[in-house]
Structure 1
Amino acid sequence: MTRRTGEPPNHNTLTCYTDYKCRLPECVARYNDRNMARIRAQKDGTWNGLVDADPIRQHLLALAVENIGPGAVAYTTGLPIQTIIDFTRPRRDKRRGKRHRTTPEIAAKILAVTVDNHTRGRRPAAGTHRRIQALAAAGWPLIHIAAHAKLSRPTPSDLLRRETVFAGTANAIATAYDYLRNKKPERHGVDKVQADRTRNWAKRQNWAPVSYWNDRLDVIDDPHFESMYGITRRELIAQDANWVMRTTGIDRQAAAERLGVSKSYVEHAFRDHPEYAVDVAA
């Protein structure tokens, strides 16, 4: 099972509220402050507004011709990959079309990426791992993933053991993932027995499926994003109670009040997950 280790970095960013559904008072306040700052800027007339996204779309298409895909642009600019993808393709869930307007800051970052200055070399392997794992959970054997990514047969297995990957390899896996993620393996040359065997293998590893990442493509490449797939609410409470108690020195009763649960719930959570259990942090 995927677990959080150490102090969860999400408590220092807006993803704590938006992705983890955290409702610690300080995290809610951070989210509200961000929204209020935007509203005040709009009222004061200092909000920069939005610009036409068509020049960005044409720029991204030109980069794609040079084999510089969304992953490379995202890594170079520091923007979420879904932000880049939204300029050229509608969301697969069909709730949103292609992005037609964006902020001047995002436009400037993307338009600054060129064939000469885009990030080369190695990058964190988190996104590559997650894409391979999600395809395996869908029933795609590693040898088929390798074939679609135009990589050698043992490469995906090897990539799962690496902490960093070459940018070109990461882009190849990302391209294969985007093509395969909504296709059934059995309808595209994979034997049913082989597909089921791969699904069962991925299930034993507790790998997050494609459906989990469909709503989190903006963080799929973020090595600091911690997947909550397969983790129960009780385990989350145990982790958050542990974190709150260690960082503030409060006891279980106070931690329970901050987390919006009863003291007995925290105690049951610690009982079920003793690796997180503390009484009063020093």
Structure 2
Amino acid sequence: MPRTPAGRAAHTRWQVRRREQQRLGLWCPFVPAGPVREHLERVRKAGMPARATAVRLGLPSTAFEYLMWGDQNNGPGELVRRETAEAVLAYWPSLGDFPDGARIDPTGTRRRVHALETLGFSQKFLADRVGIQNTNFGKAMSADRVTARVARAVATQYDLLWNKLPEDFGVKQWVADRTRRMAVRQGWAPPLAWDDDTIDDPAAVPQLDAPQAGFTEGDDVVDRFLMGSPSSWTGRHAVP
């Protein structure tokens, strides 16, 4: 029995379909492997190894090796069990699924860092909280990929800080103000502009149409950022 919710749901659907098709004399326990292999390859390119995917779905770690690559005497498998196909095709890794060393898309990580910078949390402050030297943290933010470990560490800090003021965490006032001004120039979106369910999606865009916050200038800039006030922005596009 599969150990994950996705695996159990696919197994249940498979049992229902099997009983119905057996009743009709149409039962076919195997399906073409091509679409399954293609989906696994997309998952693998996203940073999730095939073995880690198998384990996540409650299967033996080697479950996909023949399907993906065959063996020394045969090419990749042409058929796959229907329940396995359904479990695979319904799966896409979340941030928590990736092994620490997996190199994944940096979009969500950059958005979280930039959103926190709109509040005045400097990159150095965030690097210290994540446990990375500031120089290396800066390189990670501009790289084509980021490790899952760093992405999760940034996400943890984002969850803790998204509605906080940096001055309450020891960030000097002038540093926070400078960071906020820089974020305004860059047009970065504040935390409330992002949906937690889509912030990692490169196709998602920030929602900057919140009601006017009613603040003007100066010390109220953080409140306006938290409210997602459109008047706070010089640009309105997602930062990939």
TM-score by length of 1: 0.39
| Structure whose CA Rg is larger | 2
